[in-house]
Structure 1
Amino acid sequence: MTSQMCQPTIIIELMYEHLAPRVTVTLPGGRVTEGRLHARRQDSGGQWWFEVSLPMPAADVRPIDGENYSHVPTERHGSPAWVLQALRHDTPKRRALVLHRAACWAAEGRLTPASDMEAIAFLRHGWATACDACKPAPEADAG
């Protein structure tokens, strides 16, 4: 799968803020598994093509040399919902810390996990600014 094929998947899920509908997929060799349907199109010959994603164990997936995986959302079991990104500068308009949702594509560099209470306090006291991309709202999510 090319990076161009992955892009609509990310956009669709972010746009609708929910997972794509489930589908059953038959793999070569006859193995049947469950996936998510992200897009469908009909080619000029009338054949239908579906863009699906399949959850796979990491041991069965290999990265392709030259592809950039830094934008891929990553979730870890038991991980916090929030991370603080340390920046190299600190001004009144742009604090040295930015609060992100843990899976935010814009979070990079040195990241520190934050609890709900820490995230609320850092925003409330102005010690961090909220990310413009993921727009974290820990008070809304916690309550």
Structure 2
Amino acid sequence: MTSADDKDGVGPWVTVRLPDGQDLRAMVLQRRLEHDGSWWYEVVITLLERDNVHGVMKAVPAPVSFWAPPAACTPVEGEDYSLVPTTRAGHAARWLVERRVQVPGQEGPLLLVHRGDCGSVRGSREEVDPQRAWQVLQRPDAAQCAVCRPERALIAALQSPRSP
């Protein structure tokens, strides 16, 4: 299965080797260049958790993201990694667009617009300029983050003569 086959996916697949030797298929959310020159990959796997649905306990999908070093990640043939968002340590974007990992039965927007320093981003993220952030915010499948609430700051940035 490729990321193109996964209608709810947001990134390419990679095989991750865990410390106990198990290999898991994970979706790549982003990569990051650290201060020491090493690269790390944020990946997500879907595990199960229990949920009380109308008084009945059920197992439901639960996405879990974690950071893995490149030595633990093996590319999957046929996957395109060229669009994986890339960040650098110490570099904070002004605006981020998060593409949320969709779980069957989960409701809510697919895209969330955040301030660049927001700590609540969980899915893959893309650094964007104010114009692009505003365009995304106008989409029917998008919303602003309820934590950092970037809309007012974004409007101010768009009205200033020097939008970053």
- Sort the TM-score into its range (normalised by shorter chain): 0.3 to 0.5
TM-score, normalised on structure 2?
0.36
User: Considering only CA atoms, is the larger Rg found in Structure 1 or Structure 2?
Assistant: 1
**Is the strand fraction higher in 1 or 2?**
2
